[in-house]
Amino acid sequence: MARRKVDFLIIGSGIAGLSYALKVADFGKVCIITKGKAEETNTRLAQGGIAAVMYSPDSYEKHIADTLIAGDGLCNEKVVRFTIKESTERIKDLVAWGAEFDKTTTGKYDLAKEGGHSEFRVIHHKDNTGKEIESALLDRVIAHPNIEIVENAFVIDLLTQHHLGVIVNKKTPDVNCFGAYIFNEVSNEIETILAKTTLMATGGAGNVYNTTTNPPIATGDGIAMVHRAKGMIENMEFIQFHPTSLYNPSEKPSYLISEAVRGFGGILKNQKGEEFMQKYDRRKSLAPRDIVARAIDNEMKISGDEFVYLDCRHLEKNDLINHFPNIYAKCFSLGIDISKDMIPVVPAAHYVCGGIKVDEHARTSIHHLYASGECSSTGLHGANRLASNSLLEALVFSHRASIDAINAIKTTDYCNEIPDWDAEGMVLNEEMILITQTIKELQSIMSSYVGIVRSNLRLKRAMDRLQIIHKETEELYDKSLLNFKICELRNLIAVAYLIIKMATQRKESRGLHFSINYPKNK
């Protein structure tokens, strides 16, 4: 069995993993593990851009206030303050790494607006900001001699003293991370990677629902791995549904119609062509996402319709196409000319606000393990993320983690006693249907019972159903030779469990968690 030793192990090749890699690479050997091709990430799909304070009349205080309001009382204000104050510097990092953002004729950044923002502050590259960032970072990473990227390799589990035969539970005070077991699809081997420090940067978990804007890689693996390793996870009940994914039921993932389109003047309407957001919030179509998604959900339930519309017909055509060329082309390819036709839209699972609990240096509750990006819970988002704050969060926390990790490797050794993976007694599972059907069942349970609107009864029903699926899957996993799909299913089940459990424990409606048993929000 192959064994590698590295100073910095990074799990994930999105903005969190790649920006961290570039910061630590001059100080030691870096290995990035990614389960698909390196660019297959949520990052690459980001449309709207990055919220950052650049010029007056915007100010750090305004951005801080907007973030706190969106977070509905659960943000950690100290974290909000430093994240936003560091935004300007982190944008400079991206520019230095080669990312290009749109500018106006005066040479200043062309700033967009999204829901919950009181100012224009979203820096963007047309409507495909994520692609621009991912490509710029990857080019730099590939060129760096200290960084190795291993593609098509699935991180199965973190290595802790559990693998030395020590009993580890949630109360064990000093759980240590020594690296990870990875399933390398190319060599068809399970490798042991011993690392002085590990960064979890595995992104989101949108695929726990049947309709999501997230790509197939978003199966919550990092959150599930840390949960199994007895690390702390929090705030999983706060799942953000993006209000406006394109209604095109046969398409997976759902194509996003950026909130920046509403910031540009797009208006939500019902199928009768009537505006409705004024009934729900004075900010109308640009209210924070939890409010807009719930309003759309309510309108669809009242009317029985399967979608509402986003109307851009009143906007200047050339400006619209210039700002949103990809959205225009995508809709056009489906016969929708957004300058003449309204766009059918529907909410879709989009972002996990909670995740692996970290401190101000991105340190998890497990020693030598950091987490950054969507898999982490930093305290920035509280009960509802302000639009375009997530790319920023990843940059800020990966930067902070890098400073800590560069110091940590000086006093950390490898744990050579970790044994190789034991595959004895496992056989090839020839019934993939058992896995694919269970994934569909899981997604259906979560969408039906743990979606935008919840109740105690729905949550109980979801947990009861999940327990059956969990038992069957663990039995199958214990005797199967590994494949990516069974690992993902197992992780999705763990994530679903955490969402349902934390939703059940929250005896109120707040932010993205809305229960009909506690109808008054807060």
Residues 245-274 that bind ligand FAD (CB under 6 A): 256
Choice from 8, 21, 25, 49 touching ligand FAD (CB under 6 A)? 49
Contact at 8 Å (CB) between 221 and 155?
yes
DSSP string, 130-151: HHHHHHHHHHHHHH-TTEEEE-
Contact at 8 Å (CB) between 115 and 64?
no
Q: In the 8-state DSSP scheme, what is residue 308?
A: E
Sign of the dihedral through C-alpha 466, 467, 471, 477 = positive
Closest residue to ligand SIN, judged by C-beta, is: 48
Q: Is 17 near ligand FAD (CB under 6 A)?
A: yes
Q: For ligand SIN, which is the closer residue by CB, 79 or 260?
A: 260
Residue for token digits 């973030």? 67
214 binds, among ligand SIN, ligand FAD, none (CB under 5 to 8 A by kind): ligand FAD
Q: For ligand SIN, which is the closer residue by CB, 260 or 492?
A: 260
Q: Is 42 near ligand FAD (CB under 6 A)?
A: yes
385 is catalytic: no
The stretch among 32-40, 290-298, 307-315, 338-346 that binds ligand FAD (CB under 6 A) is 32-40
Secondary structure, 3-state, 326-385: HHHHHHHHCCCCCCCCCEEEEEEEEEECCEEECCCCCECCCECEEECHHHEECCCCCCCC
Length of the chain: 522
155 binds, among ligand SIN, ligand FAD, none (CB under 5 to 8 A by kind): ligand FAD
Q: Among 334, 329, 327, 310, which residue's Cα sits nearest to residue 244? A: 310
Q: For ligand FAD, which is the closer residue by CB, 181 or 514?
A: 181
Q: Least distance to ligand SIN from the beta carbon of 486, Å?
A: 30
112 strand-pairing partners: 122
What end-to-end distance do the CA atoms of the chain give, in Å?
A: 54
Contact at 8 Å (CB) between 288 and 334?
no
Edge-first strand listing for the sheet containing 233-234: 233-234, 355-357, 376-377
Q: Least distance to ligand SIN from the beta carbon of 117, Å?
A: 11
Q: For ligand FAD, which is the closer residue by CB, 446 or 462?
A: 446
Q: Is 41 near ligand SIN (CB under 6 A)?
A: no
From the candidates 289, 458, 490, 510, give the one annotated as an active-site residue.
289
198 strand-pairing partners: 9, 369
Residues 343-362 that bind ligand FAD (CB under 6 A): 351
Q: For ligand FAD, which is the closer residue by CB, 205 or 409?
A: 205
Q: Is 364 near ligand FAD (CB under 6 A)?
A: no
The stretch among 220-228, 274-282, 384-392, 483-491 that binds ligand SIN (CB under 6 A) is 384-392
Residues 189-208 that bind ligand FAD (CB under 6 A): 201-204
Q: Is 494 near ligand FAD (CB under 6 A)?
A: no
Q: Among 195, 200, 162, 175, which residue's Cα sits nearest to residue 414? A: 195
Q: Least distance to ligand FAD from the beta carbon of 42, Å?
A: 3
Q: For ligand FAD, which is the closer residue by CB, 34 or 76?
A: 34
Choice from 12, 17, 48, 222 touching ligand SIN (CB under 6 A)? 48
Q: Among 74, 113, 139, 86, which residue's Cα sits nearest to residue 262? A: 113
Secondary structure, 3-state, 29-78: CEEEECCCCCCCCHHHHCCCCEECCCCCCCCHHHHHHHHHHHCCCCCCHH
Residues 223-282 that bind ligand SIN (CB under 6 A): 258-260
Q: Least distance to ligand SIN from the beta carbon of 71, Å?
A: 14
Q: For ligand FAD, which is the closer residue by CB, 114 or 515?
A: 114
Contact at 8 Å (CB) between 398 and 20?
yes
Residues 292-351 that bind ligand SIN (CB under 6 A): 351
Q: Is 450 near ligand SIN (CB under 6 A)?
A: no
Instruction: Please tell me the distance from the alpha carbon of residue 99 to that of residue 198, in angstroms, as a whole number.
Output: 26
Strands 189-200 and 369-371: parallel
Q: Is 378 near ligand FAD (CB under 6 A)?
A: no
Residues 68-97 that bind ligand SIN (CB under 6 A): none
Q: Among 148, 137, 180, 202, which residue's Cα sits nearest to residue 29? A: 148
The stretch among 136-144, 187-195, 212-220, 450-458 that binds ligand FAD (CB under 6 A) is 212-220
Residues 164-223 that bind ligand SIN (CB under 6 A): none
Q: Least distance to ligand SIN from the beta carbon of 73, Å?
A: 20
The stretch among 203-211, 276-284, 386-394, 449-457 that binds ligand SIN (CB under 6 A) is 386-394
Choice from 30, 70, 387, 394 touching ligand SIN (CB under 6 A)? 387
Contact at 8 Å (CB) between 159 and 3?
no
Instruction: Please tell me the distance from the alpha carbon of residue 267 to that of residue 254, in angstroms, as a whole number.
Output: 20
Q: For ligand SIN, which is the closer residue by CB, 116 or 379?
A: 116
- Which residues touch 386 (CB under 8 Å, ≥6 apart)? 51, 66, 67, 70, 71, 116, 117, 288
In degrees and rounded to multiples of 5, residue 77 shows phi and psi of -60, -35
Binding site for ligand FAD (CB under 6 A): 11-17, 33-36, 40-43, 45-50, 129-130, 154-155, 201-204, 213-214, 217-218, 221, 256, 351, 373-374, 388-391, 394
Active centre residues (catalytic): 289
| Binding-site ranges for ligand SIN (CB under 6 A) | 47-48, 258-260, 351, 387-388, 390
